[in-house]
């Protein structure tokens, strides 16, 4: 099983490259429209305020930056500069916070979509660009943590079968030789990948994962030499301060696992939401990203099941039961437009039926 990340990384890079091209084309269109409005508008101040209300900050800022002193509304438009800057600052902060919360809840696609949408409204933002890069880095850390689990399992499996590999090499059969060569190639690839990933975690000062990865690489390679990075990781893990910090992280992680286990044992929606609230509020540094992703998958599954169960009841004419099912799952994704439409439709039907029974 080859877990190298380069093909996926290339796809992600290509997709984001296309996003940049789209943003540049959109900006060109916006700038052209803004130039036309600047030359023909009867009430430029109203146009600026309208752009602010629509959170189209590219357009609002373009007006303010390019209005000529000879324009009859120059003073009034220029007076809006500070207000527009304040709007932009509040907008950036709100969208960055929303993206971080979505990522903290394991909703990575929505987090990146939120920042993409924000940058489409205000392209000239170092703050949004920095937030996007920070989110990519955080996602990469999570991705590497998940890869670590898979790679260590594979390394342990292969390590336990080196004796079988040696026996295959003694056989005359060609297919035995083919299997032996394939496993030897994978062994070399795995040692290289474990070592590379271990050094990546060393840069993040995640010494436990660095130690585990480089230990596995050393054992699988058959070498007795202890690399410098592995020696450093072992030393760091043994230090008291690191043990205390790790203990605190493990305590939070254990609590998250316990809450998930409580939900899995009784399937109570209240326990699911309690687990999500805890993970979201204790995931500032990304230490619970893995559990947040797991929880988001559970939330999506539970939500879809509720939608389908309600749809089936509604189709059978059991409107009140359908409404109750939908009402129970509403807390998973508050404000979801699809669910609100279903619930409003059921309310109307129930209201009409009550009116008929009362008449």
- Work out the average pLDDT over 38-54: 82
Does residue 265 lie within any of the structural domains?
A: yes
pLDDT given for residue 245 in this prediction: 77
Kindly report the CATH number assigned to the domain that includes residue 259. Answer: 1.25.40
In a domain, 211, yes or no: yes
More confident residue, 34 or 285: 285
Q: Are residues 255 and 344 in the same domain?
A: yes
227 and 326, same domain (yes or no):
no
Mean of pLDDT over the chain = 87
What digits encode the pLDDT tens for the residues 177-208?
A: 999 999 999 999 999 999 999 999 999 889 99
Q: Which two tokens stand for residue 17?
A: 């490259």
Give the number of other CB atoms < 10 A from CB of residue 47: 19
Q: Are residues 128 and 13 in the same domain?
A: yes
Q: Please tell me the predicted confidence (pLDDT) of residue 19.
A: 52
Do 77 and 123 fall within a single domain?
Answer: yes
Q: Domain ends where: 238, 266, 283?
A: 238
Report the C-alpha gap between 126 and 118 in whole angstroms: 12
Structural domain includes residue 155: no
108 has pLDDT over 70 = yes
Task: Please count the structural domains in the chain.
Answer: 3
Do 198 and 263 belong to one domain? no
Query: What pLDDT digit, counting tens, does each position of 323-350 carry?
Result: 999 999 999 999 899 999 999 999 999 9
* In a domain? residue 139: no
Mean predicted confidence (pLDDT) in 266-274 = 92
Task: Mark whether 120 and 179 lie in a shared domain.
Answer: no
* pLDDT 10s digits, 118-132: 999 999 899 999 999
Residues 13 and 128 in one domain: yes
Indicate if 341 and 321 belong to the same structural domain.
yes
Tell me, yes or no, whether 346 and 294 share the same domain.
yes
State whether residue 69 is helix, strand or coil. coil
The listed range with the strongest mean pLDDT (109-118, 230-239, 244-253, 281-290) is 109-118
Q: Say yes or no: 340 and 275 in one domain.
A: yes
pLDDT at position 286: 84
Are 60 and 84 in contact by the 8 Å Cβ rule? The answer is yes
In this prediction, residue 27 carries a pLDDT of 46
Question: Based on the number of CB atoms within 10 Å of its own CB, is 228 exposed (0-12), middle (13-18) or buried (19 or more)?
Answer: exposed
Residues 123 and 169 in one domain: no
Q: In 3D, which of 145, 177, 193, 251 has the Cα closest to residue 1? A: 193
Tens digits of residue pLDDT in 128-164:
999 999 999 999 989 999 999 999 999 999 999 999 9
Per-residue confidence (pLDDT) for residue 176, from 0 to 100: 94
Please indicate, yes or no, if residue 146 is contained in any of the structural domains: no
What pLDDT, on a 0 to 100 scale, did the predictor assign at position 132? 96
Q: How far apart are the first and last CA of the chain?
A: 70
**Which of 134, 150, 183 is where one domain is finished?**
134
Q: Which residues does 44 contact at the CB level (< 8 Å), separation at least 6? A: 37, 38, 63, 67, 71, 73, 77
The pLDDT value given to residue 41: 65
What pLDDT digit, counting tens, does each position of 51-93 carry? 999 999 999 999 999 988 888 899 999 999 999 999 999 999 9
In a domain, 154, yes or no: no
Asked whether residue 31 carries a pLDDT value surpassing 50, the answer given is no
User: What residue numbers bound the domain in which 329 lies?
Assistant: 244-358
Give domain status of residue 141, yes or no: no
Same domain, 17 and 130: yes
Q: Considering 208, 238, 268, which residue would you say is the last residue of a domain?
A: 238
- The dihedral region occupied by 256, where left means phi > 0, alpha psi between -120 and 50, and beta the remainder, is alpha
Lowest-confidence segment of 167-181, 198-212, 233-247, 301-315 by average pLDDT: 233-247
Please say if the pLDDT value at position 25 is more than 70.
Answer: no
CA distance 243 to 236: 9
327 domain-assigned: yes
């Amino acid at each position: 099983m080859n877990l190298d990340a380069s093909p996926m990384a290339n796809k992600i890079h290509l997709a984001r490259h296309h996003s940049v091209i789209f943003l540049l084309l959109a900006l060109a269109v916006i700038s052209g429209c803004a130039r036309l409005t600047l030359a023909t508008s009867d009430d430029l101040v109203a146009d600026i305020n309208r752009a602010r209300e629509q959170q189209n900050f590219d357009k609002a800022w373009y007006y303010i930056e390019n209005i000529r002193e000879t324009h009859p509304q120059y003073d009034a438009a220029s007076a809006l500069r500070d207000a527009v800057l304040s709007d932009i600052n509040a907008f950036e902060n709100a969208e960055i916070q929303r993206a971080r919360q979505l990522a903290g809840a394991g909703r990575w696609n929505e987090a990146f979509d939120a920042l993409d949408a924000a940058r489409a409204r205000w392209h000239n933002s170092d703050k949004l660009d920095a937030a996007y890069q920070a989110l990519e880095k955080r996602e990469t850390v999570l991705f590497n943590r998940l890869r670590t689990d898979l790679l260590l399992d594979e390394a342990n499996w292969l390590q336990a079968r080196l004796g079988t590999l040696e026996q295959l090499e003694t056989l005359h059969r060609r297919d035995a030789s083919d299997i032996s060569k394939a496993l030897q190639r994978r062994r070399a690839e795995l040692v290289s990948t474990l070592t590379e990933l271990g050094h990546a975690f060393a840069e993040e000062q995640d010494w436990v994962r660095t130690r585990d990865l480089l230990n596995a690489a050393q054992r699988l390679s058959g070498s007795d030499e202890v690399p410098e990075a592995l020696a450093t990781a072992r030393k760091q893990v043994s230090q008291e301060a690191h043990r205390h910090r790790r203990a605190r992280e493990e305590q939070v992680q254990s609590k998250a696992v316990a809450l998930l286990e409580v939900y899995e044992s009784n399937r109570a929606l209240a326990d699911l939401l309690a687990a999500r609230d805890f993970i979201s509020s204790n995931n500032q540094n990304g230490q619970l990203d893995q559990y947040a992703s797991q929880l988001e998958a559970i939330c999506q599954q539970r939500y879809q099941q509720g939608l389908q169960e309600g749809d089936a009841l509604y189709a059978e004419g059991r409107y009140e039961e359908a409404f109750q099912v939908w009402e129970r799952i509403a807390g998973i994704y508050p404000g979801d437009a699809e669910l609100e439409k279903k619930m409003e439709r059921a309310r109307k039907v129930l209201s009409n039926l009550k009116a008929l029974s009362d008449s």
